[in-house]
Each structure stands twice: as C-alpha cells, then as structure tokens.
Structure 1
Amino acid sequence: MGNEPTQAAAELYLDYARHWFTGHSELYSQWAGGVAGSKALLELIADLPAPKRQPNLVFAAARFHGCHDEPFPVLESYLGRHWPEVRRIIMGRATQTNEAGRCATLLPALAMVEEQEKRPLALIEVGPSAGLCLLPDLYSYSYDGAPRLGTGSPLLRCTTTGNPPIPPALPDIAWRAGVDLNPLDGTDPDTVAWLRALVWPGQEARLEQLDAALATLATLKSGELQGVAGPPLILAGDLNERIVELVEAAPKHAVPVVMHSAVLAYLDEPRRTRFAETIATLGCRWISNEAFFMDESNQTRENSEGNHFTLALDKVPLARTGQHGAQLDWL
C-alpha cells in the first residue's frame, strides 16, 4: 500500500478533529486527532474503501462492538485487538444517523410550502434511514425558549437568528414515504443499538431525543395514534432509480415534498446532477439540508459556513442550520 491513502486518511481525521467534532464531542475530537497521528491505525483505515473511512462510521463501529468511551489510548488498543471484527461492522453498516432534531430546522420550510400550496403535504425523504425525520407533525418544538409548539415527543429545542418564519401550528402531513439503500427498522433492537452507537459521546440530550423519537415511531407503527398519517412507506433502492415512482404514488390531494439532510454528500457530482434534473420534471417541491446546495444550473455550490448545512427550498437558500438541528440562522 502506498502512502497516498494513508495521508488522505490522516487529513480526513484531522479535518474532523478540528471542524466537525470540535464543540460537539470532545472525545471524538480527541479520537480523530489521535488516529491522525497513529501510523498503525491509519494503515488499517486506509485499507478500507474510501466511503468506509469516515471517522463517525469507524468510531461508531468500535463502540457498537464494545469499545468504551475512554481517552484515545483505549480506542487505539481496542482497534488493534479487535480490528477484524470492527472492520466487518464497518463494511456491513453505514452512518445512517437518524437525527430527528433536524425536523426543527426543516419545519419552517415545510410550513412555507404548506402556506404557498394550501394543501396537505406528502413527505418523501431520500436517505430516511429508519424514517424519524418523516414524523415532524408528531414531535413538539421550542424555538429560542418560546412556548411549546405541539404536544408530541421528543421536544426539539432550536436557537435561531434572522427571524425565521416559525409556523403557529404543525404541518398537515397526509403521507410519509422514502427510499434508502438500506432501510432500517426502528423497532428492531439490533438496529436501535446501532442508531444509539451513532450518537456522538457526550451528547446525552441527542441520545434521549433519539430514544423518544424511536418510541413515537413504535407507537405510530402499533396503530395507537389516531387522526394522523400512518407509518412511513420506505422502499429499498437507489434514490435516482425510485424517486419518480414515489412522487407519482403520493396522494393526489397532497403536494409532494422531496426532502433530505446530509444525504447527497454521498453521491458524486453526476449523480447529484441527475437527481436535480429528475426533481425538476416531477412537479414536486424540494427541501435540501446539506453542506452544499444545487444551483439553478444543477451544479453543486459549497457552503462556506464551516460545519453548518444550507437549508434550501427549490434550490433557493433559506438558512444555515446546525448539523443536528439545534441552530437555525435564517438568511
């Protein structure tokens, strides 16, 4: 193995240590910095396929297998002793973080669509994982400490700047659907354990939020919730291959809204462009929450705001958002 993959892995882990993990998980920041300086670990990681080298996947796999949330030497020793088993987890799973908190940053965009269209919404998420972001009407919200909007669980708290259009009521959701390469069953204990392992160390509020959202999903699947759209219909497959059939399957009385958060980053430029071109032909609305947005010519435009996402509606940027949904800076 040459030095190029090892150097690329070192740069990746150093970038995560300095930008993505800093201020969010000090242990992960320490772990990523430690990996960036460990020749032995970098050689192991560099031997993985490029999409499988991401720090949050490697670290989640180690924790899922049994590594404790301790300083870097513990991780270094653990991976050295258990790498074949951890590698199998890395190869067999993905960072399908199902961040229900992002609904707090998506909600104003959903409300804008509902106000403009005067119809209920048919939500269609690409990359929905277990589908927790398809339940925005079943959670409750507090922006900047304001009184609670909604009665559901979890309560999603979000700080804002720029006077975003916070709706007075939750959206009317008529249908929920999605497409994922590997749909997850949020009621399966093994899947729940993996989703919990994906929550970064030190983020207890996120973990409690995940548990509450999974409980809401389980209640919805049980049929106990009346007067709301049923559980998400999540198809297995490539988003470019199945998005058309999902939009066409949406109830005719509802406006189809295609949405996604931190998903298109896993597509190369041609596949992103294909997706944008397809969306333009479907007569649907499009909410994107990514580290970039697609411009009018369907080209990727990077976000220069560090570890924030760009929230866009129909390719028009609306806000900068925190990656886990706790911050909304309206443009």
Structure 2
Amino acid sequence: MRMPPVLRAQARACANLDSPFMARLLTGLADRWPAGSALGQLCEGWEDVDLGPSGASLPLRIAGGLHALVLRDEDADLAAVYPPHQVADAALIDTVLAAIERHQAFFADWMKNAPQTNEVRRAAVLIAAAHEIAARHPLPFAVSELGASGGLNLMFDRFALKTPAGRLGPDAPALTLSPEWDGPFPAPAPFTVADRRGVDLNPLDPHDTADALRLSAYLWADQPHRLELTRAAIAAQAAPVDRSDAIDWLAARLEMPRPGQLHLIYHTVAWQYFPAAAQTRGRALIEAAGTRASSDSPLAWLGMEADGGTGAAITLRLWPGDITLTLGRADFHGRWIRWTGL
C-alpha cells in the first residue's frame, strides 16, 4: 500500500509543527488505512509518484476534507471526536473511518483540489522586512505577491507585529501577530502601500463561502488561534489576486514604470514549488529589472523559503546596487523568527 508511509511522514511533520491531534489522526489512519474503501482505492491509484507533502499531499487533502465536514456541521459524530473534545485514539479512528465511508461522494470531489492555505502568521516576516526596507528607501510601496492564494498577506501593512522586543504596525490593526522573536528588532520606519496585487494559479476568493471553507479547513483543528487570525484577515482582505502563471504575470508587472515608488516582490513558501525553469526565468526577469532600478524607483525581492535548514531562510535583494542580504530564519507557520536584520 502506498498511503501508510506518507500518512506517517505527514504525521511526523504535523507533530513538529505543534499539532498533536493531526499526528494522532494521520498515524491512526496509517495503522488502519481503508485500502478497500472508495477513498482508499482513489488514493492507491493516484497518478502522482509522490503522494506526500512534496507532491500530491494526499494526507493533507484527507485531513482537510474531514475538518471541512466539521466546520460545515455536516457530521455530528465526527465533530464529537474533534478538538476541543478528547477521545481515545481507537474511538477517534473508528469515527473517522465511518465518516469517510458515509461521505464517499464528498471526498471524491474534495480530493480533486490540492491543499491551499494562506498562513497569516508569515506576515510577521513581511512586516519586519518592510520596516527595514523603508528605512533605506522611504518611498511608497507597490507590492507584488507570488503564490498569493487568497491574498490575505497582501494586507500585511494593516497587521501589527508585537513581541517583547517591540511593536510595529498600525494603532488599530486588523489582527496582531506575536511570534517568538530572537535577535534585533527593526526600528519603526513608516511606509504606505500605494499599489498591491497578487497572483496564483488557483486563487481563492476569501469572501466566497466555499473558498473561505477551503482556506479554513486546511488549518489544523487543535490550533484555533490560526483560524481566528485567518478569519480576521479575511475580514480585512481587499486586494486583487489574479489567476495566472506567476512568472508571466510578474513579467508584465516589472514592465510597469513606477516613478517615486519602491516595487516589493515577495513570496512565502511558494517559490520553492515553482518548476526549475520558471525559477530561472523569474530570477532573470527580476535581475534585469534590477539593472533598470534607480534611487527614485528601487526594486526589492523578498523571499521566505526552505533551503534545507531549520525553518525557512529570509532573504532580500535590493536594487540599485544588487545588494543581497540574509535577514534571518522563520518557522514555516510563523511561530518563531530568528532575525538578523539589515
């Protein structure tokens, strides 16, 4: 069977990201995988070679579907074994397997779409970096987010970052992020966002009921704070996200003249999923645009992406001058930030 190993691998990843419930759920499914069920046959016959988190992410699709049933109040028995309720592992998996059997048609449809989240806590990195950039280039920002999903983090300037080391953001923020912070804290450098737009191959409209459910269902049931932040961000979201190939879209954005503005391109745990050829082309486009940058129209490229180390590397390139900086590291879900700054 193909599924038990990838379920266990995803369970370990969830445990490392502070979700004991997801670890229990996925481990239990691995131990008692219903290979003969409709869902079992669908997964076993999946065309992708990699069914795990680097490929089709079938364990997360299954967990997201189960959570969606709970959030939509469509299965009272399932809701009774989900957080905040505490039940034994055997009772949890008995109930989950029964729900999978009851909702065969739902899962056949749900599994068609890859997991899609919009981790709001990653905006803490955007807030800190924006203040560092603004200290060097005190100009209005035009922001372009690659892999924006529902566009929640396009509103980062309306969020606050609060830690024992300091606070950044508006006085009346849409939400407040409080990651564990280590390192120097950025000095406040006021900035405005004059233009904001994102791109995604499959953008979600957070104001659409079905899309909002998808964004919420992939948040883990024993982490209600993530759901609270997402709902607050949905209420504040007012930025367009275009359906397009990210690099084609970026090429057009880079051709737009922006006198008196800093163009900030950013992506958080998205670039690493672009095909190698797209990364090469995107890098070349950004570097070419960098050669055209000036003090009146600078360019910044900010990334928060996996590099094989703990968490994600936070990198920044600035033009004119083609300055490359490592700003620190961050947890993939924004739980902690190790900041080095500029």
Instruction: Pick the aligned partner of 1:190 from 194, 201, 210.
Output: 210
Aligned mates of 2:189, 2:232 — CA distance in 1: 21
Residue 121 of structure 1 deviates from its aligned partner by: 1.4
Contact 1:159 1:327 survives alignment (8 Å): yes
Aligned mates of 2:150, 2:215 — CA distance in 1: 9
Q: TM-score, with normalisation over the residues of structure 1?
A: 0.81
For residues 55 and 180 of structure 1, do their structure 2 counterparts lie closer, same or farther at Cα, with a shift above 3 Å needed? same
Instruction: Pick the aligned partner of 2:10 from 3, 10, 16.
Output: 16
The equivalent residue for 2:251 is: 244
Residue 167 of structure 1 deviates from its aligned partner by: 3.5
Residues 75-110 of structure 1, C-alpha deviations (whole Å, 9 max, x = no match) = 23322443442131121x332211222111222222
What RMSD in Å do the two structures reach over aligned CA positions?
2.4
The letter of the residue matching 2:111 is: I
Instruction: Pick the aligned partner of 1:267 from 265, 274, 277.
Output: 274
The equivalent residue for 2:98 is: 77
Aligned mates of 2:34, 2:246 — CA distance in 1: 37
1:63 and 2:61 equivalent? no
Q: Secondary structure at the match of 1:129?
A: coil
For residues 32 and 40 of structure 1, do their structure 2 counterparts lie closer, same or farther at Cα, with a shift above 3 Å needed? same
Count how many residue pairs are aligned between Structure 1 and Structure 2.
298
Structure 2 unaligned blocks of 5 or more: 49-54, 82-91, 291-298, 318-323
Aligned mates of 2:277, 2:187 — CA distance in 1: 36
Contact 1:181 1:236 survives alignment (8 Å): yes
For residues 211 and 250 of structure 1, do their structure 2 counterparts lie closer, same or farther at Cα, with a shift above 3 Å needed? farther
Residues 20-62 of structure 1, C-alpha deviations (whole Å, 9 max, x = no match) = 4435221111122223334435654232343433422321123
The equivalent residue for 1:322 is: 331
Q: Secondary structure at the match of 1:141?
A: strand
Q: TM-score, with normalisation over the residues of structure 2?
A: 0.78
Aligned mates of 1:52, 1:111 — CA distance in 2: 37
Instruction: Pick the aligned partner of 2:233 from 203, 210, 213.
Output: 213
Contact 1:145 1:157 survives alignment (8 Å): no
1:29 and 2:29 equivalent? no
Aligned mates of 1:115, 1:256 — CA distance in 2: 15
The equivalent residue for 1:125 is: 145
Aligned mates of 1:175, 1:64 — CA distance in 2: 34
Q: Secondary structure at the match of 1:52?
A: coil
Structure 1 unaligned blocks of 5 or more: 218-230, 293-302
Aligned mates of 2:168, 2:127 — CA distance in 1: 14
Residues 172-205 of structure 1, C-alpha deviations (whole Å, 9 max, x = no match) = 2111011111222221222222211121111111
Q: Equivalences for 1:276-315 in 2 at 5 Å? A: 276-283=283-290, 284-292=299-307, 303-305=308-310, 308-314=311-317
Residue 327 of structure 1 deviates from its aligned partner by: 1.0
